[in-house]
Structure 1
Amino acid sequence: MRTSWLLSVSALSVVVAPVARAQSGTVDLVPPTSQDAPSAEAAEAAPAQDIVIVGQRASLVQAADIKQRADQVVDSIVADDIGKFPDTSVASALQRIPGVQVAVNSRNEVGGPIIRGLDDILTTLNGREVFTGAGRGFAFEDLPAEALAQADVYKSSSADLIEGGVAGVVNLNLQKPLRLKAGTTLAANVRAIYGERVGRTSITANVLAAHHWDGAGGEFGVLVNASVRQYQYSRQTPFNDNLLARNIPGVGGVILPAAQTGLNANGHYTRPQGNFALQWKPSVELEFYIDGLYAGDRTTRADNYILYDNVSAQSMTNVDLSDDCSDYQVGGNGFYSPTGSVGRYCVARGFTANNLNALTATEAHRNRTDNYQLGGGVKYDSGRLHLMADLSWVRSVTSDEGFRVLIGKPIASVTVRTNEGGQPLADAVGLPLADPSDFRFTYGLDDSFSRAAATLKAARFDARYDVGGIVDELQFGGRIAERKAEVSGYYQGGGAPGGAFATPISNYDLGSGFLGASSVAGFDGGATFSVPRTDYLLEAANQDVIRAVYGLPAGRPVDQAERGYSVRERTYAAYGQVRYDVPISGALSLDGLVGVRFTKTDRDIAGAGRVFDDAGGSSVVAVARSTSDSDFLPNASARLKIGSDLQARVTYAKAISRPGFGSLNPGINYTLSTSDYILNSGSAGNPDLRPQKSDSYDATLEYYLGRRGYLALGAYRKNITDRVVGQVARETIAGIEYNINRPRNVGSATLQGIEASGQVFLDFLPGAFGGLGVFANYTYADSEVTTPGDTLEGYALTGVSKNNYNVGLLYEKFGLSARAVYNWRSAYNLYEQTQGQDVRPVDTGVYFTRAQPQGRLDASINYDVGPNMTITFDGLNLTGAKTRTFRSYQDEVLVPRDYSYDERSFLIGVRLRY
């Protein structure tokens, strides 16, 4: 049953105000002197007291203080020390925040953070908008954690924050020289990373140098930081391919996978990064600054496939039927069809497929990302007046070169189990795919290239005037930004010479380097199988040899108009906000914000699509659209302070998220299938997509235990309109039926829940036990599409786990700092496949691919061997958690889909600081 409005409590903070100064890892604590969220500059000016705490406890205390003093609902993570951000990546660290969830990507990295189940996040770096490629989002893995000083997650908005995140805003702050101690600071961090499954060791290193001094012209600071991360990975995934129905003689109607497929996503990447910062304060009131960042990614990767084609089998024996039997609607090819006939079928637990085709493939890719940010400005603080002006330039360029070749051979038989503890298994007699002989070319060649480049120029002005009294502050400002993006590329394919499985690869002089070996857990007992080599496929000369085999001309094709689009987007924003402070009685007071932000967006987008006609010909049709929209985004908050230990707050804010450029692309593409068992498919953008909007409400109750921690509870609700979702639907174009993937707006949806969190340091315990600490948080998220008549009405939003929690144990004493953290999230829908290819029971409603619950344990140990050196040990995914998905009909499991082996990694390193 869906709840309506959930009352409760949340929050986070400690009643101390830390001042972060990198002095041999110490942090000085002082009583709070401002109601505002403390800025780095404000922290620098605070006087030090006698109380000193260090390391991860200091960072937790500082993060809690930021939360307590903020006007919005904010959670933060602060670096333990220079180059020591909690966890090994930004995304891993963010998952410790209540309400933030993550997933493991194909590179075996924790990534894609979402806030309370929503991925519509605006990311800023040093307060400036950042992104990756032509998208709205930012690839957090592209920024090394060692470069960060602090990350703030804003779950509620205010007028002074840049608009664009319905879920929230994540601000990443780099180190600044005037935050560091006077004099010269040098820090270095080197770690070796061993991946258990890939069986290899990689290196990550970071070095920072800064100088902070007083001169005749005032106070100066200069900082340079550089890092490089290298990593090799292998993520193996056996899965059941698309489901189809078969009538097997002597058995009856059977539901089984069209193929048993295994994937080994493997590769290596190098991520260089560098940033600098210059600060000059000619007087106490005035500061000039300039800073810049470069972050890159160079990845060579491959998807190695092994596939046993059950559809091609001449017979099926040893069929083991489950008692999961239903009526299915089946088309002529055995897959789902809305006009198909209805019959009774039972799901197969296992079978033996005889005399069938087997395939292997390598989909080789070379990826490159270059992210740049350059900004500068001036700050003026004199008496009651506080001014800030900032100019910035951001550019991101990504490219992907892809080349895929499929090979295969007929085999005698394969024995299949579709579900062994959630994992599919396949064992071929005699391991025929390990033998490189008798392989033939199968199906088509895929040859592609894409490039996305985007540039953002922005100017921002913010002002604050301290009035005093009930009207405490007046805040106002504005921002002008122009973003341009261009996407280009090509795709070509060619049929195998003589047809599928007709021509041996030995007929061509491909050289001894063409074939290599790969493996997938669950397939043939983990034995190796022959595949085209990644490095071979990515060499230009070898590509021309392969193109000739498939009857294609040498060289890369020119960019195709239907594969690209261009965008120019201009945004204008202005805001006004009042901060009020109302004394009530004694230690009882009320403060908060009331404001509004106005934003206007003008956009021009041009693209093209290739459309096929009845005769099989095609043409490219250019499409261009211009749109404009304006929004008022009000906000209000109130915080009731009940003494120094207890406070409650309520907030309201309206937020928007603009659609991604790829979703807005007016072009459309169709692909005619070369197989009777694969439907024609296509993709299209939707230039009429509207910005998503939300009305967000938060209520928190926060109790602080002094330096020892906090206890907190809270409730939240978002009323969302025009939520953008992707949907695959059948469309008939020029008399041909296609599965078209097209984004659309869902009229309305709700997301509501509770958050509970707390942390306690047990320094009241005697002796060594006084170094213990514990923390935990829990988030409940209940979501529902509420648009009357929509196919998704009553279903949860994709990506939303109902339950998510973190539990951690800390220890810090005698130079030893240790932490163990367990993170868990419940099942969630990945994407909708209502009109997809899989056959499914009649009247099952919406069909999803759904992720299984997952928990993982991470741990770290740091030991100070001296005042300037720390030895570090980290273990990631110590429980060996797997990422599993299944096909879900009305939240019921039919057959597992993916079973991914996430990497268990171990790190050892040394950190130096002078």
Structure 2
Amino acid sequence: MIRGLTFVRGELNGRDVFSANGGRGLSFEEVPAELMAGVDVYKNPSAEIIEGGLGGTVNLRTRMPFDQPGRKVAGSVDYNYGDHAKKGKPSASFLFSDRWQTGIGEVGFLANVSYSEMSTLSDGIQIEPLHRRGALPENNDEWAMMPDGSWVSPDQIKEELIGDSGHDAVFVPGGANWRQTAFDRKRQGLALAAQWRPNDDTELYAQLLTSKYRMAWREHSMVFGGSSDGDNADGRSNFIMPMPGTQFAYDANGRFLSGNMRAGAYPWHSIYDGFGIQFSTANRYNTQDNQTTDISAGFRHYLTDNLIVRGDLQYVKSTNENMDFTVYASTLLEGVNLDLSGKYPQVTTNNAEAMLDPSTYFWRAAMDHIADNRGNERAGRLDLEYTFNDSDWLRFFRFGARVADRSYTSYSTSWNWKPISESWHPVNNPGRNDVAWLDQYYAGDTELYDMGNFFGGKVNVPTRLWFPADSIVDIGYANTTLGPLSNEVDPASGWYPLSYIPANINIQDERTQAAYGVLYFENQDRFGVPVDGNLGVRVVKTSVRTTGGGRMPDMSGWGEQVTDEVKAKFAGQYFSTDTSSSYTDVLPSLNVRVKFTEGLQWRVAASKAIARPEFRLMQAWLPLSVSVASACTSAIELGTRTDPCGLSDLTSFEGSAGNPALKPMRADQYDTALEWYFGPTNMVYATVFWKDVKDYFATTVGYETWNGDQYAVTRANNLDEGRIRGYEVGYSQFFDFLPGWLNGFGVQANYTYVDSSGGSNAIVDPYDLEHRAVSVDLPLEGLSKRSYNVVGIYEKNRLSLRLAYNWRSRYLLTSSDVITQLPTWNEDFGQLDGSFFYNINSNIQIGLQVNNITNSVTNLTTGPRLYGSDGYLDETVYNRAWFMNDRRYSAVLRASW
């Protein structure tokens, strides 16, 4: 992020670079910091900078052999330790660089390698969203099931929920879940560079940078098995109720505080006796393997003393493979008490013995997801620079052209959740209620897992339970064990691993053709003060071609419930959605600096910028679906209708896809800054900036006609205009005027304020077709209103110390979370980091670094929420989740010659 702004473009050595993860840019965690020579940040780029950074551009620079006057050898070793993970891992890097005078000119070579590992542990607890209850007609369909299978009416439910609280309606959570996630990261990097200067006029170079990155994480979680407002197969909500004879406690606004809970519906009532809540213990394993390789070569040559030509060729290849697999067991927790009255949720239960008994758990479900992404780019550019010798204003003029062909191919499946056993999905185990109990089936693939000092002891939840063991959270092994078990009673209705189908394929090709010209100017006395800057324009044409298709709904499995006409029209037919499009952008830019004194200067900048959509938003595949009206199927089941359902009985015509026709976001942006440099390392600055943004991306629902029917299709679209404006102030100084050892102290500080507004994120639930036009005002995603950084410094003799606090205010993570379809926020967050280094001599340095000294907790919230039945808008923002991560320590040894 730059100045708190997103849509920042990343580049490597002034070239385009990316990770094949569906996005546009490079995942910085893939690039070892040890390979970097420096980082350039462009807040308002000139026309020669490659387009695509609406928030700015960050250029990562790797080392070159001619950067040093001669031979350079350096290395470092590092041992890092996480206090929560209680694991330590090593890191190391080595650099060799040298240059030689030879018979063919000067030659330089550089090799830089790095290797690092890291282990971290994260604890999280989450509250299911609070749902409005008891406000008829919202809850007309709420019924509760007793353990004996009898049903309780909506009026009785309302009485139980509200009791004598005095509220007309109350807000009750759907439950709670908690999880512990262990991360292991391994990263390997290699940078090679060669330079050849055959004479003073010519230089040639070649670079290779490759980074291999593997992230594997395993998560153990306890997940409440119901929902706050979802419907079960009976059409009656599976919701939270008070235990008989108890009442929930609410605050003055009717929001839940605490209470003894039971599930309102019992789909498992034939499995368990008694009141309680079904929880799933889940073991989830995720691996991500990424590799990015950048190969480039180029030259610089003086055609004359005034004219330089530069050329550069580049090839980038990036791969990303992902596997995600979860196995669930399930048990009934009785006597569950949820308390939200404190800083963090607390969950207790009175059946501790049952939690330690594997015979009370059964194999419930499995879910897998796989992805294999490939991307490559071939780019070439040619630049010329002409220097003016005898001009009062003109310094030099740069112009050039760049062509890049980029392709992206993604194979990515859906999330394949399927049951192993349940009351509604039995196995052949009649002696024990038709489910697969852990003590009977694959008992050796289970474990009694303990989450240990969960959340540092600040959260009281059950942490020692039976889980699927690591051995069975393997897709190949589970395919031969849980797969047949899941399908033995009803073949093909349970879980089997996914494989790629046409709907999982996303193929896109993009060509960009750009030309630019930029004039650099300077005058020392025309206006009484020195003025310099640049004025330029960049013109770029973008051509996009996507390969994809769609599939009509498949009603062939409905048997005699639907007519032959329905089956013929909706037989799962495939159709093509291949597209091609192009657009051209003219991007002028102006940067001016006025030097009032040697240390005081004023900057003014104006430009147009674009940010192209991510490839994941442009996937062309469109699967369509349709349902049969429940009134028809219910009538057939009850015998009141004898003829099958026809075309007029179909409902819920829906689809979901990317949008290959997305245009880039475009912005007119302006900056002005006043800077005062009052010493070699001292400065104060203030900047005001604003951006008028249009065509930004948002997920919406629109109607499209396919094969004569109108479907409600969810896509990303370009929507209305937005505005970003703000200011930043900064201060940096060493107090070298102080006496003695005190003059080593210094400070760096900055503060940024950003105000944003826009229309697309005002949509609360884009999937609520009936009420999707009802909106609330939300800011743009990812933007904090306020952020600041304060760094205390000490540099004296052999000591080097840093203590840095970074803080940002709450920001909108997403306007519609994929699970809840609600706006989700990241609340205020600050973190303190520090480092201490000591120079043993001019070649060797030792140090200690500490991250997250304050042991900060990330807090997510959700809201506001729109209720579709009567248009009621609950503007309350509720707590959603809390996450605690490691405090990390790192011991470092560095040496250089």
1:587 positional shift = 7.0
Letter in structure 2 aligned against 1:154: Y
SS of match in other structure, 1:588: coil
More strand by share: 1
* Aligned-pair identity (%): 26
Aligned to 1:329: none
CA distance in 2, matches of 1:701, 1:872: 37
Q: What amino acid sits opposite 1:567 in the alignment?
A: Q
Question: Are residues 1:143 and 2:31 paired?
Answer: yes
CA separation of 1:548 and 1:806: change in aligned 2, threshold 3 A? same
Give the aligned residue type for 1:390.
D
Question: 2:694–2:722: 8 Å Cα contact kept in structure 1?
Answer: yes
Name the stretch that deviates more: 423-432 or 606-615: 606-615
Aligned counterpart, 1:21: none
Residue identity opposite 1:512 in structure 2: G
Alignment of 1:393-472 (within 5 A): 393-421=315-343, 423-431=344-352, 434-435=355-356, 437-441=358-362, 444-468=365-389, 469=391, 470-472=393-395
Task: Tell me the residue number matched to 1:38.
Answer: none
Equivalents in 1 of 2:33, 2:183: separation in Å?
21
Q: Does 1:826 align with 2:809?
A: yes
1:500-649 equivalence runs, <5 A = 502-506=434-438, 509-510=441-442, 512-515=444-447, 517=449, 519=451, 520-521=454-455, 524-525=460-461, 527-534=463-470, 536-538=472-474, 540-551=476-487, 557-584=498-525, 588-613=529-554, 618-649=572-603
Work out whether 1:872 is the aligned partner of 2:855. no
- The question of 1:664 aligning with 2:645 is answered no
Residues in 1 aligned to 2:58 and 2:447: alpha-carbon distance in whole angstroms: 45
> Is the contact made by 1:537 and 1:543 (CA closer than 8 Å) also made in structure 2?
no
Mapped contact 2:4–2:752 kept (Cα < 8 A): no
The 5-angstrom pairing of residues 248-259 of structure 1 reads: 248=157, 249-252=159-162, 253-259=169-175
Q: 1:263 aligns with which of 163, 166, 179?
A: 179
Evaluate the alpha carbon distance shift between residue 200 and residue 672 of structure 1 in structure 2; reply closer, same or farther with a 3 A threshold: farther
1:476: Cα distance to partner?
A: 0.1
Amino acid paired to 1:479: R
- Which residue number corresponds to residue 123 of structure 1? 10
Cα deviation for residue 684 of structure 1 reads 2.2
Residue among 38, 41, 55 paired with 1:167: 55
Cα distance in 1 for partners of 2:74, 2:626 equals 57
Cα separation, partners in 2 of 1:512 and 1:734, compared to 1, 3 Å: farther
- Residue identity matched to 2:409: E
Q: Which moved more, 1:202-211 or 1:651-660?
A: 202-211
SS in 2 for 1:438: helix
Contact 2:735 2:743 in 1 (8 A): yes
Classify the secondary structure of the residue corresponding to 1:478.
Answer: strand
Cα deviation, residue 669, structure 1: 4.6
Q: Secondary structure, in 3 states, of the residue corresponding to 1:896?
A: strand
Residue type at the aligned position of 2:398? Q
Flag the 1:229–1:610 CA change in 2: closer, same or farther, 3 A: farther
- Following superposition, the deviation at residue 289 of structure 1 comes to 0.6
Query: CA 1:835 to 1:813, structure 2 compared with 1: closer, same or farther past 3 Å?
Result: closer
CA shift for structure 1 position 486 = 0.6
Q: Which range is displaced more, 641-650 or 242-251?
A: 242-251
TM-score (norm 1): 0.78
- One-letter amino acid of the counterpart of residue 285, structure 1: D
2:400 to 458, 466, 477: 477
1:562 is paired with a residue of what secondary structure? helix
Unaligned residue ranges in structure 1 (runs of 5+): 1-113, 326-345, 839-846
The alignment's TM-score, normalised by the length of structure 2, stands at: 0.80
Shift in Å at residue 795 of structure 1? 3.2
Of 219, 233, 239, 2:106 maps to 219
In 2, are the aligned partners of 1:759 and 1:776 still within 8 Å (CA)?
yes
C-alpha distance in structure 2 between counterparts of 1:833 and 1:131, whole Å? 27
Q: Secondary structure at the match of 1:146?
A: helix
Q: Counterparts of 2:420 and 2:626 in 1: how far apart (Å)?
A: 16
Alignment match, 2:84:
197
The answer to whether 1:387 aligns with 2:309 is: yes
SS of alignment partner, residue 666 of structure 1: coil
Pick aligned residue for 1:766 from 724, 739, 762: 739
Aligned partner letter, 2:435: T
Hey, what's the Cα distance between the residues in 1 that align with 2:689 and 2:475?
A: 53
Distance 1:613 1:278, change over 3 A: same
- My pick for the range that moved more, 282-291 or 451-460, is 282-291
**Residue in structure 1 matched with residue 867 of structure 2 by the alignment:** none
**Superposition CA RMSD, Å:** 3.2
Cα contact 1:731–1:738 (8 A) shared by 2: yes
CA distance in 1, matches of 2:795, 2:361: 61
1:233 corresponding residue in structure 2:
120
Give CA deviations for 1:135-189 in whole Å, capped at 9, x if unaligned. Answer: 2022111111111111112111211000111111110001111112313x22111
**In 2: Cα distance, 1:440 partner to 1:131 partner:** 45
Q: Which residue in the other structure is 1:495 paired with? A: 419
| In structure 1, C-alpha distance between the alignment counterparts of 2:624 and 2:185, rounded to whole Å | 33
* CA shift in 2, pair 1:321/1:590, >3 Å: same
Aligned partner of residue 420 in structure 2, secondary structure: coil
Unaligned runs of 5+ in 2: 135-156, 163-168, 227-237, 263-275, 427-433, 559-570, 631-651, 764-772, 865-872
Distance 1:115 1:893, change over 3 A: farther
The secondary structure found in structure 1 opposite 2:507 is: strand
- Matches of 1:251 and 1:153, distance apart in 2: 56
| Corresponding residue of 2:838 | 863
1:810 & 1:729 partners in 2: Cα distance? 55
Code of the residue aligned with 2:467 in structure 1: it is V
1:222–1:508 distance in 2 versus 1, CA, 3 Å: farther
- Relative to structure 1, the CA distance from residue 402 to residue 656 in structure 2 (aligned partners, 3 Å threshold; closer, same or farther) is same
Give the 5 Å matches for 1:657-696.
657-669=611-623, 683-696=656-669
Higher mean C-alpha displacement, 256-265 vs 516-525: 516-525
1:416-437 deviation digits (Å, cap 9, x = unpaired): 023522x222122243675250
- In 2, Cα distance between the equivalents of 1:738 and 1:139? 37
Judge which range, 870-879 or 890-899, deviates more: 890-899
8 A Cα contact 1:351 1:415, kept in partner = yes
Spell out, residue by residue over 1:541-594, the C-alpha distance to the aligned partner (whole angstroms, 9 max, x if none): 344322222226998654211011101111100011111212325971211111
Deviation at 1:766, TM superposition (A): 1.2
Contact 1:269/1:299, CA 8 A, preserved across alignment: yes
By how many angstroms is 1:444 displaced?
A: 3.9
The question of whether the paired residues in 2 share the 8 Å contact of 1:728 and 1:835 is answered with no
> How far does residue 258 in structure 1 lie from its aligned partner after superposition?
1.4
**Alpha carbons of structure 1 residues 662 and 824: separation in structure 2 relative to 1, 3 Å:** same
8 Å contact from structure 2 (residues 356, 465) kept in 1: yes
Task: For residues 21-51 of structure 1, give each alpha carbon's deviation from its aligned partner in whole angstroms, at most 9, with x where no partner exists.
Answer: xxxxxxxxxxxxxxxxxxxxxxxxxxxxxxx
Determine which structure has greater relative contact order: mean sequence separation of CA pairs < 8 Å that are 6+ residues apart, divided by chain length.
Answer: 1
Question: For residue 796 of structure 1, what is the aligned residue in structure 2?
Answer: 779
Aligned mates of 1:508, 1:731 — CA distance in 2:
51
**Partners in 2 of 1:761 and 1:892 — Cα distance?**
47
CA contact (8 A) 1:440 1:503 kept: no
List per-residue Cα deviations over 1:501-546 (Å, max 9, x = no partner): 9513437653624435253536654633332234541362344322
Q: Which has the larger radius of gyration?
A: 2
Distance 1:401 1:768, change over 3 A: same
